[in-house]
Structure 1
Amino acid sequence: MDLEYYLADVFTHKPFRGNQLGVFPQADHLKDHQMQTLAKELNFSECTFVQSPQKGGDFKLRIFTPEKELPMAGHPTLGAAAVLRSLGRISKEEFTFEENVGPIKVSFHPDGWISMEQPLPRFGAIFEEPGMMSPLVGLTTQDLLPGGEIQMVSCGLPYLIIPVKDQEALNKARVDREVYNSAKSKLNFGELYLWCRGEKSGTYHTRMFAPGVGIEEDAATGSAAGPFVCYLVRNGYGELTDGALEIEIFQGENMGRPSHLKARTSYGSQGYSQVLVSAKVV
């Protein structure tokens, strides 16, 4: 079987950085098990498969990790958009992907950034005993941000957001598979997203571990950036400007794949009204 596919680096403006992505732009004829096999063969954190729309969008997008299909994801959405644009299959500045979570609007900007609009946040459980969660990532309670909220948040995919006190603590995080599997059998929590403040205001360093879906560590996690910026607003970590918080996220340094993400949320008297995550793609 001859298949056309493309490789993209997402959340970077330089090749061989950011998060790797395989994009299959003509995937109507592929069955589910074939897409899963291809994703496992390429062994990136995700691969995308572009199909004809079924619900009024411009394209249907299927997203697979090496182990399972996802309802949506950040860098696959943005990377697939960039590839389709480069192939001349998208000429307008805004279009819609049909993903399993629902319609996802994507926008191209004159400065080269591409944005996706994510579902509005859903806030889940707060884990009030840090000592229960810090061993999941090989840390102690002394490594965590004092008074920081450990909470589940989702804008399409659920993440357990864990604040650590500084970059030194962030750098030494490691998933203990035995502890993780034991905790997962007893507690309901999402993939693990750790963060600390950057040196400049409005900047953050993050890491994401998702052993449950076959991703030991992710170089850049767009589907976590949306929940994260909403979490910052909810917990008073960021100052709103004109009813919005915009942040920059740096991830992937520990993997040799430095990545740069932007995330923005609008918040007012009626709550959250928009969640945007943006990338450059090469």
Structure 2
Amino acid sequence: MAELRFFWVDVFAETPLTGNPLALVPGADGLSEREMRAIAQEFNQSETTFLVAPSAEGADHRLRSFTAAGVEVLGAGHNAMGAWIWLADTGVLPSDRHEFAQQIGDDVLPVWIARPEAGRSRVTMRQAAPRFLHSTTEPTGFAEALGLTPAALADRSAEVVWTGAEHLMLGLRTRADVDAAAPEPARLRVLLAGVGAEGCYVFTTEGGPDGADAYARFFNPTVGIVEDPATGTAAGPLAALLALDGEARGGSIRILQGHAMGRPSILDVAVDGDRVDLSGSGLVVADGVLRL
């Protein structure tokens, strides 16, 4: 019987049992893709990440991530952030280096690790340059699929934006509207396919006492995720869109996600032209052994 260590990381979290939980399996080179998919199904989280040896020149680590439904995730979101939090906080990375390169699919993108004298490491990841793929000025169907009336929609078009994954950015008027969303997964999946999007990021720029620039929720029935408490591959596109519209103060956006799920998550994104950098922290909350 083979034994394989795994770790549980709360990503974009300030305290345990918040943020977005990630199952992480390091040293996974001996696993087949079929086994990786089966393990991801066993953990039944939005994503499970496997650390394997890189195949691209210049990469320090290669990440392969799968949803519980077996779909491989190729964007750099919480699936990658959690892996680098583990690498930084467990002493795997050399302490005299602060810049690294991660391979996800065929892409090799930079990662920066900030190690304060006290406290947890902070990870910053470069996402792919944003692409603004599709827009619709008639988002009423999406509102209805989310259990909302058209009055909840903000006065802006809905946009499909990509920084590694295609997601629909759907603006709502208030935080209460965001919290009220109750999607019909089958109906939403059909609408997303019609605009070439994978998931739906509903958001508002209404302010609150937390100081966040945007308040969001993420639904992705396309890959079997009912709701995700923190979504880096959607936060990057939202920040790029807000920056394009002149709504990013100094190019920085702080997004609060997961509040409605009881898993508050803070995602910071800096946008400078085609550069989209996602930052966050988190903590390892559990570990165990897989017996295969």
TM-score computed with the length of structure 1 as normaliser: 0.92
Counterpart check, 1:263 vs 2:264: no
Cα deviation, 1:52-94, whole Å, max 9, x if unaligned, reads 1111200111011111111123111111011122332211211
Counterpart check, 1:100 vs 2:105: yes
Counterpart check, 1:148 vs 2:156: yes
Cα deviation, 1:152-203, whole Å, max 9, x if unaligned, reads 0000001100000001100010111242244356443331001112226662
Alignment match, 2:9: 8
Further displaced range: 257-266 or 67-76: 67-76
C-alpha distance 135-73 of structure 1, shift in aligned 2 (>3 A):
farther
Structure-2 separation of matches of 1:178 and 1:82: 35
Contact 1:63/1:73 (8 A) holds in 2? no
Counterpart check, 1:50 vs 2:56: no
Cα drift, residue 105 of structure 1: 1.3
C-alpha distance 12-182 of structure 1, shift in aligned 2 (>3 A):
closer
Counterpart check, 1:70 vs 2:73: yes
Q: One-letter code of the match for 1:233?
A: A
Alignment match, 1:269: none
Cα drift, residue 149 of structure 1: 2.0
Structure-1 separation of matches of 2:275 and 2:190: 36
Cα drift, residue 211 of structure 1: 1.1
Cα drift, residue 96 of structure 1: 0.9
Cα drift, residue 229 of structure 1: 0.7
Further displaced range: 42-51 or 80-89: 80-89
Higher relative contact order (CA 8 A, sep 6+): 2
Q: What stretches of structure 1 of length at least 5 have no aligned partner?
A: 267-271
Q: What stretches of structure 2 of length at least 5 have no aligned partner?
A: 284-292
Alignment match, 2:247: 237
Cα drift, residue 231 of structure 1: 0.4
User: Cα RMSD (Å) of the superposition?
Assistant: 1.6
Alignment match, 2:93: 90
Counterpart check, 1:248 vs 2:250: no
Contact 2:192/2:199 (8 A) holds in 1? no
Structure-1 separation of matches of 2:202 and 2:24: 28
Q: Number of matched residues?
A: 272
- Give 4+ residue runs of structure 1 displaced > 4 Å after superposition: 184-187
Contact 2:134/2:195 (8 A) holds in 1? no
SS of 2:282's equivalent?
A: coil
Question: How do residues 103-118 of structure 1 correspond to structure 2 at under 5 angstroms?
Answer: 103-111=108-116, 112-118=121-127
Structure-1 separation of matches of 2:267 and 2:186: 31
TM-score computed with the length of structure 2 as normaliser: 0.89
Contact 1:108/1:114 (8 A) holds in 2? yes
Question: How do residues 32-51 of structure 1 correspond to structure 2 at under 5 angstroms?
Answer: 32-51=33-52
- Give the percent of matched residue pairs that are identical in Structure 1 and Structure 2: 31
| Residue number among 138, 144, 151 corresponding to 1:135 in the alignment | 144
Counterpart check, 1:126 vs 2:135: yes
Further displaced range: 162-171 or 186-195: 186-195
